[in-house]
Amino acid sequence: MVSLGCAKNLVDAEVMLGHLPAERFEIVTDESQAEIIIVNTCAFIEDAKEESVETILEVADYKQNGNCRLLVVTGCLPQRYAKELATDLPEVDIFIGTGELTRLVELIDAHQPQGGSLQAIDIPQYLYDHTTPRVKSSPFYSTYVKIAEGCDNHCSYCIIPQLRGPLRSRSIESVVAEVTALVADGVKEVNLIAQDLTAFGHDRNDGSTLAGLLRELVKIDGLHWLRLLYAYPEGISDELIELMAAEDKICNYLDVPFQHINDKVLSLMNRRIDQQAIRGLVERLRQAIPDLTLRTSFIVGFPGETEQQFSELMAFVKEGHFDRVGVFRYSREEGTPAATLPDQVAERTKKSRVEKLMKAQQRVSFRRNRALVDRIEPVLVEGYSEETELLLSGRSVRQAPDIDGQVYITDGQADIGDIVPLRITDSSDYDLIGEIVDPSEALSGE
C-alpha cells in the first residue's frame, strides 16, 4: 500500500488494509515483493495529481521487473478522472473511488487478466465507524481518527466536495468507541481529522457538536493528548474555546486555515469570513488560551490577487500571530468556480509570493520558538533522531505529527511512546532542543 496526500487519505488506506482477510493476504513493505500494489491517491491540487501519476508509473514497473500482477489505484484521482485514467494508464488493473473502498476484495476477485481495467466509481456516501476493520500504520502511541467525511463549505477554489461528497458525520458514540479501543491498545495521542472539524454534527440533526464530542472523549482514561486539525474558522464557537482552555487533555494547539486576510480575496474564495472576524477570532483564542499554538494556511496567487492585496497578507503574517504557517500556490482546478475567474496570476508570480511569505513566517516562527527556551514542555518521545542515533527525538505538545517540527533530546533517557517533561535549551526556525528533567522539577514550575 502506497498512500499519498493527507492524513484523511491515510485513514482510508488503513481501512482498505483492514478489509483484506489475513488468511488470504499478507501485507509487505517491500514493493518489489508484492503481488498486489495499491496506490491510494490525492488529487486536491495540480502538484498532488502529478505526484500521484508519477507514483503510479513508478510502481507499475514492478509488473515487468517485480512480482506485481495486479495494480490497484484508489482514492481521489480515479474519483475525479476515471475515464481519462483508464485510457492513459493501461498498466492499472482496478480503479476505485473514494466511496467504494470496502469493495477492494470483491474487485480483486472479479478482475480478469485479459478483461481490461475494472472501475468502481460512484457518488461518495461511505463513512467508516468503530466497527470497521482497520490496520493502523502509524506508531503505536499516536493515530488519526476521522470524525466526518465530505464537506459542505464549497470554497470556490476547492474540488473536495466533488471528490468526497457532502458532509457525513459519525455519531459521538462511534467516535468514542473507536478512541476507547485505540487507547486500550496503547495510543496516547489522538489527532482528530475531517475536512472541517467544526462542522461535525451539523448534518445529523441530533444535537451533536464538536464540543459535545470532546466532552465525551476527555473522559477516556489513558488518553493523554487530543489534538484538533483542520478547524474551519467560522465554526469555532466560544463554547469550543472555553472547553479547550479548561481541559488538559485537549492540546493547546489549533489548525485554522484562514487562506487570506484581504476581504475581496476572501469573498471571491467564498470563505464567508472577513478580516475583522479573523482578527477577532485570533484575539479571542489568544486571550482565552494564552499558551495556544496556532497554525494556519494561506493561498497566494488566487485569481485577481494584486500586489497590494498580497502585501496586506504579508503585513498580517509579519504581525506574528501564528506559530506555524503553510503557504500554497493557488491551483486552477477545472470544475471549480475560481477556475473561471478572470485575472489568473502567473505561475512565476505565485512561486515568488510563496517564497516571500514563507520567509516572513520563518522569522516569526524563530522568534516564537526562542521564547520557549528555558520552559519545561511535555514531549512525546518517538525514537532516535534521523540526523544521528546519538540523540532521541520527539514532538512537543505544540507539534502535530508529519506537519510540524521535532524536538531533539540532548540529555536523559526515555522509552518510545513516553511523554516526558523537557526543558527547552535551544531552538531553530521550526525545531526545539532540550533535556529531560525530573518530573518533580516540572511540577515546581519553569
pTM of the complete model: 0.92
Q: Percent of the chain at pLDDT above 90?
A: 83
pLDDT digits (tens, 9 = 90+) for 88-137: 999 999 999 999 999 999 999 998 877 778 888 898 889 999 999 999 99
Domain residue ranges of the chain, discontinuous segments joined by +: 2-120, 142-370, 376-443
Kindly state the average pLDDT of the residues 135-151. 95
Annotated binding site for [4Fe-4S] cluster: 6, 42, 76, 151, 155, 158
CATH topology of domain 2-120: Rossmann fold (3.40.50)
Which residues are within 8 A (CB) of 402 and not within 5 positions of it... i.e. 6 or more apart? 7
Give the per-residue pLDDT at 27: 94
Query: DSSP states of 254-303 as a string?
Result: EE---B---HHHHHHTT----HHHHHHHHHHHHHH-TT-EEEEEEEES-T
DSSP lists the bridge partners of residue 417 as none
Q: Average pLDDT in the 149-169 region? A: 93
- Yes or no: say if 406 and 395 are a contact pair by the CB < 8 Å rule: yes
Helix, strand, or coil (residue 409): strand
pLDDT in tens, 216-259: 999 999 999 999 998 999 999 999 999 999 999 999 999 999 99
- Give the residue ranges of the annotated binding site: 6, 42, 76, 151, 155, 158
Specify the 3-state DSSP secondary structure of 349: helix
| Residues in CB range of 317: below 8 A, 6 or more apart | 298, 325, 357, 360, 361, 364
As a whole number, the mean pLDDT across the chain is: 93
CATH topology of domain 142-370: pyruvate-formate lyase- activating enzyme (3.80.30)
- Residues contacting residue 195 through CB under 8 Å, at least 6 positions apart: 8, 148, 149, 150, 151, 153, 160, 164, 167, 230
Instruction: State which H helix or E strand residue 188 sits in.
Output: none
The residue type of 297 is S
Inter-residue contact 9 to 95 (CB < 8 Å):
no
Whole-number pLDDT of residue 399: 93
pLDDT score recorded for residue 446: 47
- Which letter, b or e, does each residue of 81-92 get, where b requires 16 or more Cβ atoms within 10 Å of its Cβ? bbeebbeebebb
Homologous superfamily (CATH) for 376-443: Nucleic acid-binding proteins (2.40.50.140)
